[in-house]
Structure 1
Amino acid sequence: MPNRKLVAVAGALALAVGLSACAESQRTPTTSAPQGTTGATAARSDSGNANADATFIFGAAGAPKLFDPFYASDGETFRVTRQIYEQLLDFLPGEAKTGPGLAESYEGSEDGLTWTFKIREGVTFHDGTDLDAAAVCANFDRWYNQTGAAQSSAVTYYWNNNFGGFADQTDKDSLFESCTADGMTATVKVTRVTSKFPDILAHGAYAIQSPTAHEKYDANNVQAQGSGFTYPAYALEHPTGTGAFTFGGYDDAAGEVTLNRNEDYWGTKAGVAKMVIRTIPDESTRRQELQAGTIHGYDLPNPVDWKALEDGGAKVEIRPAFNILYVGLNATKNEALKDVRVRQALSYAINRDQLVQSQLPEGAEAASQFFPKAVSGYNTSLQPYPHDPEKAKALLAEAGHSDLTLEFWQPTEVTRPYMPDPASIYEAIRSDWEAVGVTINPVAKPWTGGYLDGTEQGEAPAFLLGWTGDYDSADNFIGTFFTKQDNAFATKNYPFAQELTDALVAADSEPDAAKRDQMVSDLNKKIAEEYLPGLPISHSPPAIVVAAGVNGLVTSPLAAEDFSTVTITE
């Protein structure tokens, strides 16, 4: 779902949508942390001047969809739920790597198919029930045994994409096989080796929730209704996790979620008594409210405002760029694109360095491949396509398409971490293409008003899209883009389609980390130089901003901040 995970609820899907990380790139690790310490709590510290009774107010771009993260796929929902829930694994502070979470240690078998998790002692859910291995397995069983409407990828997006099937489905193979409990030890078996397991368990969709609350509030009762779905009371009113904040309620009219400090939290308690997440759709309004002191922070400040915000005393925290902006090309909508020389010409025509310098914030980089340097398997020998208009013209002439006409789609009514100003980026690329003789037919569509659906359904010959990773794995980037036959690039229509899919699956299934990384690195070279199903453009660092009196925020490259580390000095 390229991008859907990055849209906010106004129709969007996950900034994090995410979360992202690959645990030490080892398939058979033994990983542990000191008792009472996870990636989140390791970052928590108290400030002597902090007001422990303070309320931290954060301005969100959209409203959460619900409060059961297993049914979520959008960033605004995960922003809330990651404060309430925790996972077996956690992301290390400020990183996309994973470590222990509710599992204080975990170990994989020699063949990578059996994983043993030692569950942390002394942890209770918000309803007072105990966390143990049986509760963990109850969550795995709940995920695997979804039925009816809940099996739709529109409801269980991450399970469908990461695990691939449910218990009663005979036409889909599931990655999950079983979970067995023995006291505080949970043993999970998977059906095949994959680079994403167990690291995917750090994603917020796989939060460990109270089985007692699930039963009490009929948590699995998802129903189809018209073109959408209805969700049970648990998902809307009674989310029950183990996290540093408890759910205090949602005022739909005011667009406010209230979270309360969990006084019985097993680790370091939250630095504020309350957190309010207030929906403020307009970015300029969020900025004005921060400057007026009515909120303490907000996400994705416009890069043009960074200096003014800092000059006014605010703290603009810049996250590492864990994303990719690309131009998608779909040859089913333009026959000329089937010729790799045409695709190469379009790539040589783009002045990436100028685009990065003029359109993106400081720290952005031109892209040579479809994921950033932080991801295992990055090919360090690859360079971005140089800006070479003459070579672009020569390739077009050689391919017999000097008079190429191309429909190019532009998204409107959106700002993304990898694409802070879509209109300016679009115009820069359009201008470069026109400079080598390509006639552009522009098409502009609202992000959630036809653009995402249209691109994902293969209607656009050329289009701008991007991705923020969920964890440190090549499979989360190029696997997401190219493994499926039905994707926005329509790679199934290219002669290399099966070869590419087979190579991606083989790399993801390789249990030896070093060998897997080399396979991915070699594949990145082929994708960039031989296949070129799309054009990687840039990696851009998104920011989050907080007021001067806010301390302790640890930024996440996945936009997966844990706000329990925040303190306020007033």
Structure 2
Amino acid sequence: MKKIGILLTLFMFLFSGSVLAAPKAGGTFVFGRGGDSVGLDPAYETDGNSFMVCDNIFEALVAYKDESTALEPGLAESWDIAADGLTYTFHLRKGVKFHDGTPFNANAVVFSIGRMMKEKNVKFIGKGYEIPAQDRTPEYWASMEMDGTIGSIEAIDEYTVVFKLKRVEAPFLANMGMDFADIISPTAFLSNPKEFLRKPVGTGPFKFVSWVKDDKIVLEKFKEYWDKTGGPYFDRVIFRAIPENSVRFLELKTGSINVCQFPNPADIPMAKNDPNLQLISQPGMNVGYLSFNHTKEPWKSNLHLRKAVAHALNRKAIVDNIYQGMGQVAKNPIPPTMWGYNESIPGYAFDVELAKQELEKAGFKDGKDLGEITLWSMPVPRPYNPEGLKVGVAMISNLAKIGIQARIVSYDWGTYLKKQREQPDDMDLFQLGWTGDNGDPDNFLAVLFDGLASPSIRTQWHNAEYHDLMIKGKITIDQAERTKIYERALQVIFDEVGTIPIAHSTVIWPTTKNVMNFKLHPTGSVRLKNVSFK
């Protein structure tokens, strides 16, 4: 009887604990972030502040598991791949609705992906839709050379879609889980294509309500969401734009927001010691970098000048003083946790005398005849760079020590991205970075640096050997062989100083203590379906 009593007591304790820890339905969750979204049409945006909202409104055919880039079914419950690797057949979920009440089906998939194709080789079942001309280039699609990958898309029946590829594409399936491949409501888009980016309609756990620019975006629970396992639990989700890191952290401490994205590194110890807060962390699958305007001389052809800049930067001091223990100096422009990383690359040594020698070889001894250059610096904190303007100030101080005079240029985030993409003549150096989308090196190395692949590549670095390696990496299936390809590509980008990797950050976001099941994802996604209050 004594043993039974002990077991009963233990059972009651565990039961009560599980009740206490159970997710609570309802409430309003407020996400405090460093900047506003640029737009909410996932086919046309490239920034994390846009995608984090899209992550909760839209879904793709495949999905990444929690805290991983391993794939799992999304809007497609299964798929088949032909033996030759050129045909992918997706079997879609039934009974899924868009937020506007229209049904999700094969035609919606053909429309959503087909609208990004330059040559729309698509086939609907039945009447289908007329795909309007694009107002702007779908940047992700173009930078990933998807027009060179996908040959045709066809709806076989209401719940079966076949993609036929022009070439074997090793990362194709992983790519189809990315935000640009999200499935949208054709009906909502066609009712006003120009306004869809401000009035998005998807199948996700939350639906769009309103957007006050540079202030807040409001979503609400989609009660007819197809996945009945878990949430969504919150009635409403609000994404608030609070540009100042310190102000955002103060709002967290007072309980005005539930998550503080990108706190100042100095605020982390305070958060750790606050009984009302908890820290959520993950090693970042990211890189922050400084690059050159490769469309402009002397940066385009003067390797010695690029080397001078690389050796002038005290990247360790930047990481120590600005990242403050939340980052590591980068040697490769992919993180060390990713396969394909080249361990033999030493990184650019901070060496003022060597930098001066390279500057003299470049024909600009002590900076003479170079003139004042511009260094574009990001106005918002990002996962790979906590304070872009401070990093920029440190960099121009470093450059001054070898005789290069530079000044900071910055804009609001949307303008910065738009202007930088245009490679303006008044831009010499620029800061940007990347959080990986799918765990494949191609998603860093091809998308960021292969300027020969597309004018949408932001660095516009042109190198024939590198371009050939990127193509080989895509069409090679064996991962061991792909690893060798990417190791060589990393050596080329190091030798030619195509870009200067600065840091990989550790992502740490504090939340209020009552937040349950909030997880950071390697891709930077913010997925709130299963998050709740305790």
State TM-score, norm by structure 1.
0.77
* Conserved 8 A contact 1:475-1:504: yes
* Conserved 8 A contact 1:458-1:490: no
Q: Which deviations, in whole Å up to 9, do the C-alpha atoms of 1:391-424 show, x marking residues without a partner?
A: 3334444555432355241426332222212233
* Conserved 8 A contact 2:396-2:406: no
State the distance in 1 between where 2:367 and 2:267 align: 39
* Conserved 8 A contact 2:98-2:201: no
C-alpha spacing 1:103/1:374, structure 2 compared with 1 (3 Å): farther
Matched, 1:158 2:140: yes
Select the residue among 183, 208, 212 that pairs with 1:208: 183
Which residue number in structure 1 is paired with residue 190 of structure 2? 219
Matched, 1:282 2:243: yes
Select the residue among 362, 379, 387 that pairs with 2:325: 362
* Conserved 8 A contact 2:32-2:257: yes
Structure 1 position 63, deviation (Å): 4.4
Which residue number in structure 1 is paired with residue 467 of structure 2? 501
Q: Which deviations, in whole Å up to 9, do the C-alpha atoms of 1:502-525 show, x marking residues without a partner?
A: 232232232333212211111111
Which residue number in structure 1 is paired with residue 5 of structure 2? none
Partner SS state of residue 76, structure 1: helix
Structure 1 position 112, deviation (Å): 2.0
Partner SS state of residue 539, structure 1: strand
State the distance in 1 between where 2:438 and 2:393 align: 31
Identity of aligned residues (%): 27
Select the residue among 244, 247, 252 that pairs with 2:205: 244
* Conserved 8 A contact 2:153-2:164: yes
* Conserved 8 A contact 1:340-1:532: yes
Letter in 2 for 1:289: E
* Conserved 8 A contact 2:260-2:511: yes
Q: Which is further off, 301-310 or 130-139?
A: 130-139
Aligned length in residues: 495
State the distance in 2 between where 1:504 and 1:469 align: 16
Matched, 1:292 2:254: yes
C-alpha spacing 1:220/1:515, structure 2 compared with 1 (3 Å): farther
Structure 1 position 278, deviation (Å): 3.8
Structure 1: unaligned runs, 5 residues or longer: 1-44, 166-172, 223-229
State the distance in 2 between where 1:164 and 1:269 align: 35
Which residue number in structure 2 is paired with residue 32 of structure 1? none
C-alpha spacing 1:151/1:508, structure 2 compared with 1 (3 Å): farther
Matched, 1:491 2:461: yes
Which residue number in structure 2 is paired with residue 511 of structure 1? 477
State the distance in 2 between where 1:46 and 1:161 align: 49
Matched, 1:563 2:528: yes
Which residue number in structure 2 is paired with residue 8 of structure 1? none
C-alpha spacing 1:521/1:50, structure 2 compared with 1 (3 Å): same
Structure 1 position 148, deviation (Å): 5.3
Which residue number in structure 1 is paired with residue 445 of structure 2? 478
Q: Which deviations, in whole Å up to 9, do the C-alpha atoms of 1:55-87 show, x marking residues without a partner?
A: 322234444455543344443333223223221
State the distance in 2 between where 1:50 and 1:453 align: 41
Matched, 1:231 2:201: no
Structure 2: unaligned runs, 5 residues or longer: 1-17, 121-129
* Conserved 8 A contact 2:33-2:262: no
* Conserved 8 A contact 1:326-1:536: yes
State the distance in 2 between where 1:543 and 1:100 align: 28
Select the residue among 266, 270, 289 that pairs with 2:227: 266
Letter in 1 for 2:57: I
State the distance in 1 between where 2:374 and 2:326 align: 27
* Conserved 8 A contact 1:549-1:568: yes
State TM-score, norm by structure 2.
0.82
Letter in 1 for 2:30: I
Structure 1 position 263, deviation (Å): 5.3
State the distance in 2 between where 1:295 and 1:83 align: 18
State the distance in 1 between where 2:498 and 2:219 align: 45
Matched, 1:255 2:216: yes
Matched, 1:198 2:198: no
Which residue number in structure 2 is paired with residue 388 of structure 1? 351
Letter in 1 for 2:409: A
Which residue number in structure 2 is paired with residue 88 of structure 1? 61
Partner SS state of residue 69, structure 1: coil
Letter in 1 for 2:396: R
Matched, 1:463 2:433: no
C-alpha spacing 1:305/1:91, structure 2 compared with 1 (3 Å): same
Q: Which deviations, in whole Å up to 9, do the C-alpha atoms of 1:329-363 show, x marking residues without a partner?
A: 23664537734333333323333223222221424
C-alpha spacing 1:122/1:532, structure 2 compared with 1 (3 Å): same
Matched, 1:307 2:269: yes
Structure 1 position 113, deviation (Å): 1.3
1:25-424 matches, within 5 Å, as 48-64=21-37, 67-120=40-93, 123-126=96-99, 131-133=104-106, 135-144=108-117, 145=120, 150-153=134-137, 156-162=138-144, 164-165=146-147, 175-182=150-157, 184-210=159-185, 214-215=186-187, 217=188, 219=190, 221-222=192-193, 230-231=194-195, 236-237=198-199, 239-241=201-203, 243-247=204-208, 249-250=209-210, 252=212, 255-262=216-223, 264-270=225-231, 272-283=233-244, 284-312=246-274, 313-330=276-293, 333-335=296-298, 338-405=301-368, 407-411=373-377, 413-424=379-390
1:432-471 matches, within 5 Å, as 432-435=398-401, 437-448=402-413, 451-456=416-421, 457-459=423-425, 460-471=427-438
Q: Which deviations, in whole Å up to 9, do the C-alpha atoms of 1:133-180 show, x marking residues without a partner?
A: 455445444554585552511xx3333434555xxxxxxx56341234
* Conserved 8 A contact 1:261-1:270: no
* Conserved 8 A contact 1:180-1:188: no
Structure 1 position 567, deviation (Å): 1.8
State the distance in 2 between where 1:129 and 1:47 align: 38
State the distance in 1 between where 2:500 and 2:39 align: 35
State the distance in 2 between where 1:109 and 1:472 align: 23
Letter in 2 for 1:250: S
* Conserved 8 A contact 2:53-2:526: no
State the distance in 1 between where 2:49 and 2:310 align: 34
Letter in 2 for 1:255: K
RMSD: 3.2
Letter in 2 for 1:152: R
Q: Which deviations, in whole Å up to 9, do the C-alpha atoms of 1:297-339 show, x marking residues without a partner?
A: 2322222222223323322323322222222123664537734
Structure 1 position 534, deviation (Å): 2.2
* Conserved 8 A contact 2:207-2:222: yes
Partner SS state of residue 432, structure 1: helix
Letter in 2 for 1:491: W
Which residue number in structure 2 is paired with residue 553 of structure 1? 518
